[in-house]
């Protein structure tokens, strides 16, 4: 019981042995103990393996060579706040990429529509010019026929 009272005091909560504890005070004590008793932030594992390799030598004798392989692996304990911050950054980056993709699609769609409108206008202009050329050719043909008819008529 004394140890628990001392832990409350370390957490900044003044309690005596016969006081009751609220849920908020319990949570504060648990958070304090987790911070205090949490293990190291990094855990390093080192592994060594030894083996012997036999190499055939001259004169029928074999030579044995000792081989030692050392491996070192470090695990980093992530802070929950850091993990949350990284997740938020990743989410923001995904949203930014999605927004950029949508803007690019919209821009491409606008460009395609403008190009189609320009091509339609050019096509209409070509057709109008072609129509005018045909009409001019027909007028010319009609006037040539009339000229031919007037020339063929003996006066």
Q: Mind listing the pLDDT tens digit for each residue in 61-113?
A: 888 999 999 999 988 877 778 878 889 999 999 999 999 999 999 999 999 99
Q: Is residue 154 part of a domain?
A: no
51 contacts 86 by C-beta, under 8 angstroms: no
pLDDT top residue among 1 and 137:
137
- C-alpha distances out from residue 67 to 51, 54, 57, 63, Å: 5, 11, 17, 13
Q: Is residue 113 part of a domain?
A: yes
User: Residue 154 has what pLDDT?
Assistant: 59
Confidence of residue 37 (pLDDT cuts 50, 70, 90): low
Give 41's DSSP letter.
S
Give 21's DSSP letter.
-
CA–CA separation, 57 and 142 (whole Å): 111
62 contacts 56 by C-beta, under 8 angstroms: yes
Residues 59 and 104 occupy one common structural domain: no
Reading the block at residue 123, the tokens are 């096509």
Q: Which residue among 76, 97, 115 closes a domain?
A: 76
List the domain range (segments joined by +) for residue 68. Answer: 2-76
Residues 40 and 92 occupy one common structural domain: no
User: Residue 128 has what pLDDT?
Assistant: 94
Q: Which residue among 76, 105, 131 closes a domain?
A: 76
Whether this prediction's pTM lies above 0.75 is answered by: no
Q: Which residue among 76, 95, 120 closes a domain?
A: 76
| The most confident of 2-6, 17-21, 37-41, 60-64, by mean pLDDT | 60-64
Residues 53 and 94 occupy one common structural domain: no
């Amino acid at each position: 019981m004394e140890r628990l009272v001392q832990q409350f005091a370390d957490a900044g909560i003044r309690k005596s042995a016969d006081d009751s504890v609220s849920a908020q005070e319990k949570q504060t004590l648990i958070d304090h103990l987790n911070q205090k008793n949490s293990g190291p932030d990094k855990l390093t594992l080192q592994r060594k393996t030894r083996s012997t390799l036999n190499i055939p030598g001259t004169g029928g004798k074999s030579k044995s060579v000792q081989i030692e392989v050392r491996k070192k692996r470090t695990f980093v304990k992530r802070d929950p706040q850091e993990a949350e911050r990284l997740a938020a950054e990743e989410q923001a980056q995904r949203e930014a990429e999605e927004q950029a993709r949508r803007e690019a699609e919209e821009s491409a769609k606008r460009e395609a529509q403008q190009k189609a409108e320009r091509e339609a206008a050019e096509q209409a202009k070509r057709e109008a010019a072609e129509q005018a050329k045909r009409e001019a050719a027909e007028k010319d043909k009609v006037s040539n026929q009339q000229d031919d008819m007037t020339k063929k008529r003996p006066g």
